[in-house]
């Protein structure tokens, strides 16, 4: 297992259910954590709780390439290339086609797919120079298998999965790993605005999802965990 102490790790979506728990689980490892999100109050509260310097926190909208590039410039100036990029940012718009709007589709694609692209464009080049790094994304099981009402969300997450598979092909001559974790229903604020009957008490907990990411950060250097699937026991979609 790779040791995390001293590694430079960026958690994007650190203000979200999974991102926040991931920061909490990674902090004791001695890694240098950088946090990114949009809600400044929540980001500051997490930084205070974990004693992460405020200059390691970035209020960034990942759909805006200039904002992502500005954060990347500051992180690279201080830390050099990231060892691990964890993209736990995303939006869940789950609606049937009758009520799904063009705006819903564009928002899903912008955050879940274009945002991930902007992060790759900003953080991959220094990793390529070092020929080393780990990039973890969370396409979710709906990026691999369909569900009614998930047309926009699945379009964005299938797209993310496809983009990352293609990038993985480009990186085969390097030690840069691309790891995708396919989570099923996970109990986070993601579900607060989704109008669908779900049993959140049967979901994977945010802490268990974060523990899986913590494991992925330490994956053996002799191989790569290209995919991991973690889904509720009573609702195995894959
Ligand atoms: N929960 C599930 O059941 C589940 C299952 C499979 C996959 N996933 C995926 O896991 C990831 C994390 O989900 P979660 O459950 O932790 O959701 P969450 O609690 O709703 O958190 C979403 C995070 O994404 C950030 N975010 C959204 N739009 C952003 C933008 N434009 N720029 C920067 N950050 C942005 C949010 O930041 P702010 O709050 O600061 O705006 C927040 O930190 C998402 O990609 C989601 O699709 C979730």
Tens digits of residue pLDDT in 135-194: 999 999 999 999 999 999 999 999 999 999 999 999 999 999 999 999 999 999 999 999
Which of 58, 117, 123, 153 is catalytic? The answer is 153
Under-70 pLDDT residues of the chain:
none
CB-ligand 1 contact for 16 (6 Å cutoff) = yes
Does the C-beta of 15 come closer than 6 Å to ligand 1? yes
Q: How many CA atoms lie less than 13 Å away from 25 in the CB half-sphere?
A: 20
Ligand 1 centroid vs 31 CA: distance in angstroms? 22
115 lines ligand 1 (CB under 6 A): yes
Is ligand 1 within 6 A of the CB of residue 229? no
Q: What are the residue ranges spanned by the domains of the chain? A: 8-230
Cα(177)–Cα(150) distance, rounded to whole angstroms? 29
Tokens of 194: 């989704």
pLDDT of residue 205: 98
Report CA(89)–ligand 1 centroid distance (Å).
4
Could you tell me if the CB of 232 is within 6 A of ligand 1? Answer: no
The question of whether 153 is a catalytic residue gets the answer yes
Residue 146 has what pLDDT? 92
Ligand 1 atom having least distance to the Cα of 203: 3
123-133 pLDDT, tens digit each: 999 999 999 99
**Which residue's CA is minimally distant from atom 8 of ligand 1?**
140
Measure 92 CA to ligand 1 centroid, in angstroms.
Answer: 8
Distance from C-alpha of 177 to C-alpha of 223, rounded to nearest angstrom: 9
Task: Compute CA 42 distance to the chain's CA centroid, rounded to the nearest angstrom.
Answer: 17
Ligand 1 atom having least distance to the Cα of 37: 40
Helix (H) or strand (E) holding 167: helix 151-170
How far is ligand 1, taken at its centre, from the CA of residue 188, in Å? 9
Phi-psi region of 133 (alpha: psi -120 to 50; beta: other; left: phi over 0): left
The region that residue 149 occupies, defined by phi over 0 for left and psi between -120 and 50 for alpha, beta otherwise, is left
Q: What is the pLDDT of residue 221?
A: 80
Q: Is the CB of 185 under 6 A from ligand 1?
A: yes
Q: Domain 8-230 - what CATH class?
A: alpha beta
């Amino acid at each position: 297992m790779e040791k995390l102490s001293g590694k430079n790790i960026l958690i994007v979506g650190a203000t979200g259910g999974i991102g926040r728990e991931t920061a909490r689980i990674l902090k004791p490892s001695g890694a240098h954590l950088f946090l990114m999100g949009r809600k400044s109050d929540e980001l500051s509260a997490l930084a205070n709780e974990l004693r992460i310097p405020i200059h390691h926190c970035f209020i960034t909208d990942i759909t805006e390439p200039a904002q992502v590039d500005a954060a990347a410039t500051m992180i690279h100036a201080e830390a050099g290339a990231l060892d691990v990029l964890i993209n736990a940012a995303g939006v869940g718009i789950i609606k049937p086609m009758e009520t799904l709007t063009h705006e819903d589709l564009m928002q899903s694609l912008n955050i879940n797919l274009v945002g991930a692209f902007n992060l790759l464009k900003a953080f991959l080049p220094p990793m390529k120079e070092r020929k080393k790094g780990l990039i973890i994304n969370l396409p979710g099981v709906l990026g691999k298998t369909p569900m009614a009402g998930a047309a926009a969300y699945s379009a964005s997450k299938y797209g993310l999965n496809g983009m990352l598979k293609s990038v993985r092909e480009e990186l085969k001559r390097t030690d840069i790993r691309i790891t995708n974790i396919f989570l099923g229903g996970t109990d986070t604020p993601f579900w607060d605005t989704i109008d669908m009957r779900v049993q959140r008490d049967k979901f994977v907990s945010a802490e268990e999802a974060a523990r899986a990411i913590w494991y992925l950060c330490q994956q053996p250097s002799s191989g790569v965990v290209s995919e991991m699937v973690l889904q509720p026991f009573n609702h195995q979609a894959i």
